[in-house]
Structure 1
Amino acid sequence: MSRPQDAQPARSFFPFGNPFRVIAPKGSHMSSQLLALLKAFEARLAERLSKLMFKSKEEILSLSWMTSAMESLRDTYNDIRTLISDLELPVNDWNDKWIDIYLDISRNVLDICNAFSSEFSRLNTCNLSLKYALHKFDGASSKLFVRAFSSLDDWKHHVHSKNPRIEKCSTILDNLMGSLDLPKVKNSAKGKVLMQAMYGVKVQTVFVCSVFDAAFSGSPKKLIDLDVADMYSWAPAFSRLQSLINEEIRARFSNGKFSVLVELEVVDAVVKEFNPSIQRSAETINNESLLKTIEELSKAEEKLSQGLDLLAKGVDGFFKVVLVSRDDLLSAPTSAKSVKNCAFGSNANQKAIL
């Protein structure tokens, strides 16, 4: 993958070697039915990844694209729930070690979702300063204009501050990457299918979350370059998507942008058009150029607020999918019922597993 010269080295994706070699025991024959289930799952994953390819560079890291990425991840989690139902795995195939691994992974995913939610709250709080400024600009006195410009200064100060919870996401993502080194599956073709499918889910999770982490932290160092083997049918779609997204993010940061979030960068650019030394007089208030800039800020702020709201709902929906599956696993009786009726529930619209 080509990178700008000043780009930081990417973190290694396989610190413990290729995990799939650990989970593919010899002698586990995959029937045509099992192979069809796996191929169908991987085909849907490849299709979701392909749909995240942008038509223009302006779409990269727009809040709309980020919402689509989160919804794609949620759909993949729901898809693996369907796969587990179709496999009809018995409970005794899921020993305590596997359950502990899932609980640890899901805890990390929930922590990341909470960190993202805290960033939405921070940005929405910053936007209150923009809304206040726009409200004061509607006035007809120089005193109100002074307050409006003061609010714009407050926005610039707070929007460039760091979120401590986002700063911790890299550590959480490192924990998720460590979970790729999965335990051995007993001589089970069904187990092999499930592990190969879960590997795809985890790759998509780490990729999407690392992109969000880089965008919210304002640092290309947060990006993770994942090296996926060609043996997976969805690998080409994933590699193309990852290469284009990561390279564009690094290019934007190298060009001096304070944020790669499109809507946030637009607001910042409009705010910079306001001259803080402008005379706050009656003539200034009716200045055509200033009124046009105020109108542009109003539109940019509205688009940013709406985008953040949709993305926040997308993350919340994903959070609930992971939380419900975790609760089901913890409350499931340890009997010989199938996973479909025990660990992962029977509600097709709500249950999922990492």
Structure 2
Amino acid sequence: MSRPQEPHRPFFHFGNLFRNISPKGSQLSPRLLSLLNAFEATLSERLQKLVPKDKDDILSLSWMKLAMESVSEIHCDIKNLITELELPVTDWDEKWIDLYLDISVKLLDISIAFTSELARLSQGHLLLQCVLHKLESNSPDQFMRSCSLLDSWRQHIGSKNPRVETCLPILDNLVESLNLPKVKNSAKGKVLMRAMLGAKVATAYICSVFAAAFSGSGKNLLDLTVPDTLPWAQVFSHVQTTVNAEIRNIFSCGKYTVLRELDSVDGSVKKLYPLLQDGLGPIEGESFKNSVSDSVEPL
């Protein structure tokens, strides 16, 4: 059954924001300029790693692992930058630190939701392992029991996780928080705000990809537009355009999951189910077992 087309979320633009964080208002010292350039160059490199070599790489477990590692690394880069900037210095500087902590809290909430989904996928993995174990017996009774377990697996994987559903308002709040406060008379503040913009954009977008993948809904996918003058804007736009197009294409095909490995397992299950009901030969059983084993190994 085809999945109904979902409306795209609106594009979010941050042109006015960039004027608030542009260093024009206060001249940056060579040291501060070097810190900012280094942060943005590293951010570009981390985003470049997420550019898929092939469309089949998108939403594979290896790509998703790399994406989440990138979020972690970007936040470590922000922490290091705060240390290098020797903040806080004034009460207003403490408010900038509060902004960083606000990102961390939102990221923690999203991580809890994603962790619950990974735990749910692990439960599905156990069901598949039980199926593989029962196929060892070559017993008709065990084949029928395997059919029941496969039914349970598909119902389990196809069900909604309410915790993941809570990601949408958190992502909206994260996007709204991209409207960072205007910084006056502080070169350090402008450097931090501009770096924070990059960290927040990358975090919000990558988390939206995970939310879309885990919820099975394209409505969680963000479309963010940032000023072309930012050094990392081009590579970010490339990643976002490529990944969003492929995810929406997968959803338009009516697939219940966009996760590559799960989709592979589902294809094997569809082939196996009627064979189990009719009686599975040893060659077919071994072929399926190898196929599923290869598919679930990374889970």
User: Is the TM value for this pair above 0.5?
Assistant: yes
Q: Displacement of 1:192 after TM fit? A: 0.5
Q: Could you say what secondary structure the match of 2:226 adopts?
A: coil
In the TM superposition, what whole-angstrom CA distance separates every residue of 1:226-266 from its partner, at most 9, and x where no partner exists? 00101201100100111000011001111122111111100
In the TM superposition, what whole-angstrom CA distance separates every residue of 1:118-148 from its partner, at most 9, and x where no partner exists? 0001111122211111111111321111111
Q: Distance in 1 between matches of 2:74 and 2:175?
A: 18
Corresponding position: 1:130 with 2:128? yes
Q: Displacement of 1:26 after TM fit? A: 6.0
Q: Distance in 2 between matches of 1:35 and 1:101?
A: 22
Corresponding position: 1:299 with 2:299? no
Query: Aligned partner of 2:12: which letter?
Result: F
Runs of 4+ deviating beyond 6 Å: none
Q: Distance in 2 between matches of 1:240 and 1:279?
A: 47
In the other structure, the counterpart of 1:320 is none
In the other structure, the counterpart of 2:10 is 11
Contact 2:18 2:227 in 1 (8 A): no
Higher mean alpha-carbon deviation, 126-135 vs 98-107, is at: 98-107
Map 1:170-189 to 2 at 5 A: 170-189=168-187
Structure with greater helix share of residues: 2
Q: Could you say what secondary structure the match of 1:170 adopts?
A: helix
Q: Displacement of 1:95 after TM fit? A: 4.9
In the other structure, the counterpart of 2:74 is 76
Q: Displacement of 1:93 after TM fit? A: 5.1
Q: Distance in 2 between matches of 1:7 and 1:285?
A: 40
Query: Aligned partner of 2:181: which letter?
Result: P
Q: Gapped runs of 5+ residues in structure 1? A: 1-5, 306-354
Q: Displacement of 1:285 after TM fit? A: 4.4
Contact 2:51 2:239 in 1 (8 A): yes
Contact 2:218 2:251 in 1 (8 A): yes
In the other structure, the counterpart of 2:47 is 49
Q: Distance in 2 between matches of 1:101 and 1:52?
A: 26
Q: Distance in 1 between matches of 2:149 and 2:94?
A: 55
Contact 1:108 1:172 in 2 (8 A): yes
Map 1:1-354 to 2 at 5 A: 6=5, 8-14=7-13, 18-24=16-22, 27-92=25-90, 94-95=92-93, 97-276=95-274, 278-279=276-277, 284-303=279-298, 305=299
Q: Distance in 1 between matches of 2:15 and 2:71?
A: 25
Q: Distance in 1 between matches of 2:172 and 2:9?
A: 12
Q: Displacement of 1:96 after TM fit? A: 5.5
Query: Aligned partner of 1:190: which letter?
Result: K
Contact 1:130 1:155 in 2 (8 A): yes
Relative to structure 1, the CA distance from residue 181 to residue 264 in structure 2 (aligned partners, 3 Å threshold; closer, same or farther) is same
Q: Distance in 2 between matches of 1:79 and 1:143?
A: 57
Q: Could you say what secondary structure the match of 2:178 adopts?
A: coil
Q: Displacement of 1:276 after TM fit? A: 3.5
TM-align CA RMSD: 2.0
Q: Distance in 1 between matches of 2:138 and 2:156?
A: 27
Q: Displacement of 1:298 after TM fit? A: 2.3
Q: Displacement of 1:207 after TM fit? A: 0.7
Relative to structure 1, the CA distance from residue 90 to residue 219 in structure 2 (aligned partners, 3 Å threshold; closer, same or farther) is closer
Q: Distance in 2 between matches of 1:26 and 1:57?
A: 40
Contact 2:100 2:196 in 1 (8 A): no
Q: Distance in 2 between matches of 1:228 and 1:279?
A: 55
Higher mean alpha-carbon deviation, 39-48 vs 89-98, is at: 89-98
Q: Could you say what secondary structure the match of 1:180 adopts?
A: coil
Q: Gapped runs of 5+ residues in structure 2? A: none
Contact 1:267 1:301 in 2 (8 A): yes
Q: Distance in 2 between matches of 1:233 and 1:102?
A: 21
Size of the alignment, in residue pairs? 295
Q: Could you say what secondary structure the match of 1:13 adopts?
A: strand
TM-score (norm 1): 0.78
In the TM superposition, what whole-angstrom CA distance separates every residue of 1:184-224 from its partner, at most 9, and x where no partner exists? 22301111111101100000000100000000011111111
